[in-house]
Amino acid sequence: MHAVAAPLALKRDLLTGTEWSPAQLRDFFRLATEMKARPDRYRTVLAGSVFVLIFEKPSLRTRVTFETGIANLGGTSTFLDHTAARLSEREPVRDIAKNLERWVQGIVARVFAQETLEELAANANVPVINALSDKFHPCQALADFFTLEERFGGLRGLKLAYVGDGNNMCHSLLTIGARAGAHIRVATPAGYEPDAAIVAESKRVARETRGKIEIVRSPEDAVAGAQAVYTDVWASMGQETESAAREKAFAAYQVNEALFEQAAPDAVFLHCLPAHRGLEVSAGVIDSPRSIIYDQAENRLHVQKAILHTLLT
């Protein structure tokens, strides 16, 4: 069917990114590279498969790339809009999962609570993919590190600085970055650090891969010499009432020209989008030639096709 070797056996769900070992991650990136370079070889790998996309939160990149990716692989998808009502409001998540497993071959869920995903996965005998939760965003982080591998030729020892909120995006960069052997420095204000258990697990994996995880307070310390500088919104979806307080707390954490100049000469800027120019990042940085935000967005498609292929074939 295709030239690339089959990846190592994986668990059938992708809920956090911790399901994959460093070796499995390397296999996954090789598959994503092959699928991006030779898309015609994969046009029918999901022929006859139907997927449901359940979204409690709005989406541009995640929805379009999953729907397009499924179609590109020969499958079809059904979208369930739960932005007006949470998944469990009409009937229990367990019952939803038990129904869906009778009809579809996979569930892609973008939700508020990580527990919703875990309940879906525990009750559905089909793969469940985390398309974003309050705790993790593995599809985005996989696309980010795939993009960095394309740019720099490898990930082991790559220096990535994350500046801002210790949120779901930060958690997934730590989780995937540790498995890739990257060196990650996270700078957050006091009280906004990433989850301590996720940091500890990432440090444990990093010791195996010769990666490094550091949590610091100073944005300048994080960015100094970094090859990649990453930020995200200061108030995630569901935190809108905290926006004013967060803008005050994060005022010194904007990725602007002065901060970005302290990175390596060949450094690139990343953001998962949507972005707020003038808040977490200046327009001069995000719109500069060193910004690779649209490469990241493009690679969401290729990486998500590889996720679907890996979990369902």
CB 269 within 8 A of CB 292: yes
pTM of the complete model: 0.95
Residue-level pLDDT at 126: 96
Axis-axis angle for helices 93-100, 114-123 (nearest 10)? 50
Q: Which two tokens stand for residue 288?
A: 């500069």
pLDDT tens readout for residues 223-243: 999 999 999 999 887 777 888
Domain at 43-134, CATH homologous superfamily = Aspartate/ornithine carbamoyltransferase (3.40.50.1370)
Active site residues per annotation: 110, 137, 140, 232, 272, 300
CB 231 within 8 A of CB 202: no
Residue-level pLDDT at 7: 44
Q: How far is CA 164 from CA 22, 145, 180, 218, 247, in A?
A: 26, 18, 22, 10, 11
Name beta bridge partners: 109.
54, 130
Residue-level pLDDT at 274: 97
- The one-letter amino acid code at 59 reads S
Contacts with 243 (C-beta within 8 Å, 6 or more apart), sequence order: 234, 235
CA 285, 290, 295, 300 dihedral sign is negative
pLDDT along the chain (313 residues), means of 10: 44 91 97 98 98 97 98 98 87 97 97 97 97 98 98 98 98 98 98 98 98 98 98 85 92 98 98 98 98 98 98 93
Phi–psi pair at 253, nearest 5 degrees: -110, 15
Q: Which two tokens stand for residue 235?
A: 């108030």
Beta pairing class for 228-231 and 159-163: parallel
CB 10 within 8 A of CB 19: yes
Report the SS3 class of residue 164: coil
CA 83, 86, 91, 95 dihedral sign is positive
Q: How many CB atoms lie within 10 A of CB 23?
A: 12
Domain residue limits, the chain: 43-134, 140-296
Find out if CATH 3.40.50.1370 is the number for domain 140-296. Answer: yes
Note whether 43-134 and 140-296 share their fold. yes
